[in-house]
Homo-oligomer: A and B are copies of this chain.
């Protein structure tokens, strides 16, 4: 269990890094009184959001915990609560640092670009390291406690179920943060624009608009708390289920323990390389901000490759040539697991690169959307949609090649290892993402506080890069969610093979799961439908919640006429609370989709076509969700990012610049892209994972997991 203990130490280091760095960030000067006033309003808004959001999560969490206890037993319930609490903590702390770093970034930008960059990036790194550190701690400590003090075998059923329940806890927070948060951020954005710019005729980011603070809070909700919860979930799912898969595949093998716990150590060492990476984020001679951030990312990745090799060397006492033999009869040298991990790193790097190509202003896709804006709103949207469809191709091919290579290296364990290595970089990736809203807010504060032109120039430069990093990390998030879901799906089939007899599966599993079984086709079709339906619900939800914002703001203007002449302050927190409530109300039905769909499909198809076919349709549904969800999510997030930057590209003076007809068309495209990239697209990630986790837990419940665990 040495590897687990070292991983725990690394997790603790990540948390310590978070504490130390957040102190550093908070010690930075917070600017003048006007700046502090605006920042305080954002902080109050964030607090209002978090209060409402976490209260709701608490209520739902207690109910789900009770259900988990009922069906799966006490251990699983504890694991579930752990996952939820730690994921919640990462998002909570991250967001609190974020809304305090924004004003400090604005202030730091007054003395130079590097200073602004440092404050903004460090605050993002706090969130990043907390996500990776707490996720790693959650799995490692849970596993350690189960195996050492409680004495379960590493491959015992209760361990499997508890790790899955841990993932479910993370999923709970993730769906709230991604879907609820996604609706919040865009409803606030759309609502603020409609009622401010259109109705009241006041400019964007005007402090008289009661929804303007909600808009600023929303930036953090999506790209700080949302991404944190999403990747926390993916991390826990991937590493946890990788361990489960190893346990199922290497039953009784002498190498079981090291192969099972190496992913934890890989997570641990990559936290260390991520921390080193954060110190490499420095502007070079060319003052390229993106270059500085990439220096951090590449340092993390390259050192990570070396560190993974070292970790494996340590885990197997330098004997990387020894053979791992699975229960299914395949075998491969240990070194192949290292190579599979390298595949994971390569997939990450390629997806980052591809997403930047599709969303960066220097390349064909964004330029083509900008050019199409010259002929009107319609052509801008058409080109944007074409790019969004096209943007799925290369990531799919990368994932497919990664899948094939890692499978060739070490079977499904290779795929799981590749996914785990991909997730080991999560700390750095979340740092890049959480950097975005800080700079975005910093720009807003500079605007509202009337800072010097030069400062706003710097915050704008920081913000423009933030757009790209947000898009890039979304590509990573969906890519890793896809791989994680495949690992989950692998666990579903392995579980069914393992416990099939116990729950009364009579047919041969291959026959059941064969593409020529019509219930498999039915499952694939129904699974593929889920992301479409979910996306549709998410997008209409934004419209409705945005409407609620308009009502609220109109009410404040009516009840408090002092707002418009500047003599009285709008009630920002009330607006934030209202948007939060509206968003939570809107997310109820779509969030039930991934929870109920597997259960309903299993029981309905089971009733019509027999229990075995119910399980076959359920398995196919999982794969259908993954396959279709991957395309829906990538096309939405990349397309949205491309639309956003096409507008930026025109604002930089191309095709007529700001105020031109082309610019108006580009604004339309950006508006369309907003719910695509910030609501529907990212929310597909937790949806995919939850569908798979619910299916796994359904199996566990059917197999009487509860009694096994508690008994």
Which of B400, B608, B672 lies in contact with A378, CB distance below 8 A? B672
> B518 touching A404 by the CB < 8 A rule?
yes
For A368, what are the chain B residues with a Cβ–Cβ distance below 8 Å? 540
Docked CA distance A668–B627 (Å): 31
Query: Is A415 interfacial (CB-CB < 8 Å)?
Result: yes
Tell me which residues from 486 to 541 in chain A have a Cβ below 8 Å from any Cβ of chain B: 486, 489-490, 493, 508-511, 513-516, 518-522, 524-526, 528-529, 532-533, 535-537, 539-540
Docked CA distance A537–B396 (Å): 17
Query: Is A542 interfacial (CB-CB < 8 Å)?
Result: yes
Query: Is A70 interfacial (CB-CB < 8 Å)?
Result: no
> B539 touching A385 by the CB < 8 A rule?
yes
> A408 touching B671 by the CB < 8 A rule?
no
Docked CA distance A668–B400 (Å): 37
> A536 touching B382 by the CB < 8 A rule?
no
> B518 touching A515 by the CB < 8 A rule?
no
> B623 touching A624 by the CB < 8 A rule?
no
Which of B378, B513, B525, B676 lies in contact with A671, CB distance below 8 A? B378
Which of B386, B400, B624, B676 lies in contact with A526, CB distance below 8 A? B400
**What is the predominant secondary structure among interface residues of chain A facing chain B?**
helix
For A387, what are the chain B residues with a Cβ–Cβ distance below 8 Å? 536
For A408, what are the chain B residues with a Cβ–Cβ distance below 8 Å? 608-609
> A382 touching B543 by the CB < 8 A rule?
yes
Tell me which residues from 397 to 433 in chain A have a Cβ below 8 Å from any Cβ of chain B: 397, 399-400, 403-404, 407-408, 412, 415
> A623 touching B518 by the CB < 8 A rule?
no
Query: Is A355 interfacial (CB-CB < 8 Å)?
Result: no
Docked CA distance A185–B486 (Å): 42
> B672 touching A385 by the CB < 8 A rule?
yes
Tell me which residues from 354 to 393 in chain A have a Cβ below 8 Å from any Cβ of chain B: 368, 372, 375-379, 381-383, 385-387, 389-390, 392-393
Which of B393, B489, B509 lies in contact with A529, CB distance below 8 A? B393
Binds B, one of A55-63, A130-138, A216-224, A628-636: A628-636
> A515 touching B386 by the CB < 8 A rule?
no
Which of B377, B407, B608, B672 lies in contact with A382, CB distance below 8 A? B672
For A624, what are the chain B residues with a Cβ–Cβ distance below 8 Å? 627
Query: Is A620 interfacial (CB-CB < 8 Å)?
Result: yes
Which of B378, B389, B510, B529 lies in contact with A511, CB distance below 8 A? B510
The copy count of this chain in the complex is 2
For A532, what are the chain B residues with a Cβ–Cβ distance below 8 Å? 389-390, 392-393, 631, 635
For A675, what are the chain B residues with a Cβ–Cβ distance below 8 Å? 382
Docked CA distance A489–B515 (Å): 9
Query: Is A25 interfacial (CB-CB < 8 Å)?
Result: no
Chain B residue with minimal CB distance to A622?
B515
Q: Tell me how far the C-beta of A619 lies from the nearest C-beta in chain B, rounded to whole angstroms.
A: 6
For A539, what are the chain B residues with a Cβ–Cβ distance below 8 Å? 382-383, 385-386, 389
Which of B376, B509, B631 lies in contact with A628, CB distance below 8 A? B631
Query: Is A667 interfacial (CB-CB < 8 Å)?
Result: yes
> A386 touching B540 by the CB < 8 A rule?
yes
For A190, what are the chain B residues with a Cβ–Cβ distance below 8 Å? 379
For A668, what are the chain B residues with a Cβ–Cβ distance below 8 Å? 376-378, 381, 668
Which of B403, B486, B508, B515 lies in contact with A620, CB distance below 8 A? B515
CB-CB under 8 A for A514 and B516, given A528-B631, A671-B378: no
Query: Is A194 interfacial (CB-CB < 8 Å)?
Result: yes
Tell me which residues from 588 to 631 in chain A have a Cβ below 8 Å from any Cβ of chain B: 605, 608-609, 619-620, 623-624, 627-628, 630-631
Chain B residue with minimal CB distance to A493?
B516
Q: Tell me how far the C-beta of A311 lies from the nearest C-beta in chain B, rounded to whole angstroms.
A: 26
Which of B375, B493, B608 lies in contact with A515, CB distance below 8 A? B493
For A522, what are the chain B residues with a Cβ–Cβ distance below 8 Å? 400, 403-404
Which of B198, B521, B627 lies in contact with A525, CB distance below 8 A? B627
For A392, what are the chain B residues with a Cβ–Cβ distance below 8 Å? 529, 532-533
Contact with B along A144-175 (1 / 0, CB 8 A): 00000000000000000000000000000000
For A396, what are the chain B residues with a Cβ–Cβ distance below 8 Å? 525-526, 528-529
Interface-central residue, A190, A490, A514, A608, by most chain B CB under 10 Å: A514
Chain B residue with minimal CB distance to A508?
B510
Which of B403, B521, B670 lies in contact with A623, CB distance below 8 A? B521
Docked CA distance A400–B386 (Å): 29
18 contacts between A and B (CB under 8 A): A198-B375, A376-B671, A377-B668, A378-B668, A379-B543, A386-B539, A386-B540, A389-B539, A396-B528, A400-B522, A415-B518, A509-B514, A510-B516, A514-B514, A521-B623, A525-B627, A528-B528, A627-B628
Beyond A381-B672, A397-B529, A515-B515, 6 additional contacts (C-beta under 8 Å) are: A382-B671, A385-B539, A390-B536, A393-B532, A399-B525, A510-B514
Q: CB within 8 Å of B: which residues of A? A: 190, 194, 198, 368, 372, 375-379, 381-383, 385-387, 389-390, 392-393, 396-397, 399-400, 403-404, 407-408, 412, 415, 486, 489-490, 493, 508-511, 513-516, 518-522, 524-526, 528-529, 532-533, 535-537, 539-540, 542-543, 605, 608-609, 619-620, 623-624, 627-628, 630-631, 635, 667-668, 670-672, 675-676
